[in-house]
Structure 1
Amino acid sequence: MADVESFTLDHTAVHAPYVRLIQTEHGPKGDAISNFDVRFVQPNEGEIPTAGLHTIEHVLAGLLRDHLEGVIDISPFGCRTGFHLITWGEPGVAEVVAAVRVGLTAIAEDITWDDVPGVDAISCGNYRDHSLHSAREWSKRILEQGISLDAFERVGV
């Protein structure tokens, strides 16, 4: 079985919230795809409740595309401590952090239920499991802590 970088990371050595470039891969034609660890909660010390995480995911899926070029996907970790962000190209960590801050600020302060996409049976596979209240509270908490530019030291928060 191939090694998966996420499972070789020392989860006891990181200091969330942070954004970390996991890796950039180049395709046969030279196209770059970057994978980021967007960690909101300290691993093994807490987790975002599923409904709040689900709502954060749906809102960030659109907002990040508005503020960061090349977003392919943002998907929650099964441990519910953050997300994988996959992008075309090689955006810098500071660029990603700035876009994530904009998205979380919108969730914390501006987004209404009518703004949350994909909350019906046609557009979501588990549409009943959402909470804008939880998404708001977690977004505020993450922003208050600050999002580090480094996973192992609190930088640029």
Structure 2
Amino acid sequence: MGEVELAEVESFALDHTKVRAPYVRLIGVERGPKGDAISNFDIRLVQPNEGEIPTAGLHTIEHTIAGLLRTRLDGVIDISPFGCRTGFHLIVWGEPSNADVASAIKASLDDIAERVTWDDVPGTDAVSCGNYRDHSLHSAREWSRAVLEQGISVDAFDRSVLA
């Protein structure tokens, strides 16, 4: 390796050939100087290296799930897509269980798949989005339905699907 020193990032140490998406996986919990916990979750919607959500659909899921999830799960700090387009990082205050997170993700994807209209999708103009032309509610719905049909597991390595 070159002369640059890089810290190890847990997500890159994960064997992506062994996980079985869709799933929720706790990556880790960090503690602040006052003991506050911040949890980082891997929300994997698509099997790594076997598919990816097109950017327009992923972008619309991102914008919509950001608001939906905050109505279902306390302490959401951020939900951001992976560059590989197979899912999201979810950062939250506290230590919710995988099942609590999976339940909130499932309900949010169900809303995207069945109830959200274009008027519900936030950040779809030049003022509120850095790439507002790259959205697709149709794609977001189709991918949300595909994930829901497979079920969301609370274990990254064993299909323990949330009921």
Is residue 125 of structure 2 the alignment partner of residue 117 of structure 1? Answer: no
SS at match of 1:84: strand
SS at match of 2:71: helix
Q: CA deviation at 1:124?
A: 0.3
The amino acid across from 2:119 in the alignment is D
Taking structure 1 as the reference length, the TM-score comes to 0.99
Residue of structure 2 in register with 1:132 after alignment: 137
Residue of structure 1 in register with 2:16 after alignment: 11
Q: Distance in 1 between matches of 2:78 and 2:135?
A: 19
Gaps of 5+ in 1: none
Residue of structure 1 in register with 2:3 after alignment: none
Q: Distance in 2 between matches of 1:7 and 1:79?
A: 12
For these two proteins, the number of residue pairs brought into alignment is 157
The amino acid across from 1:52 in the alignment is G
Q: CA deviation at 1:34?
A: 0.2
Q: Distance in 2 between matches of 1:24 and 1:91?
A: 10
Q: Deviations over 1:97-125 (max 9, x none)?
A: 00001100000000000000000000000
Give me the identity figure in percent.
75
Structure index of larger Rg: 2
Q: Distance in 2 between matches of 1:143 and 1:24?
A: 27
SS at match of 1:67: coil
User: In the alignment, which of 108, 113, 118 is matched to residue 113 of structure 2?
Assistant: 108
Q: Deviations over 1:27-50 (max 9, x none)?
A: 010010000000000000000000
Residue of structure 1 in register with 2:54 after alignment: 49
Q: CA deviation at 1:156?
A: 2.8
Q: Distance in 1 between matches of 2:29 and 2:57?
A: 29
Runs of 4+ aligned residues of structure 1 deviating over 3 Å after TM superposition are none
Is residue 74 of structure 2 the alignment partner of residue 78 of structure 1? Answer: no
User: In the alignment, which of 53, 67, 70 is matched to residue 65 of structure 1?
Assistant: 70
Is residue 97 of structure 2 the alignment partner of residue 92 of structure 1? Answer: yes
For 1:143-154, list aligned pairs within 5 A: 143-154=148-159
Q: Distance in 2 between matches of 1:6 and 1:84?
A: 10
Gaps of 5+ in 2: 1-5
Q: CA deviation at 1:5?
A: 0.4
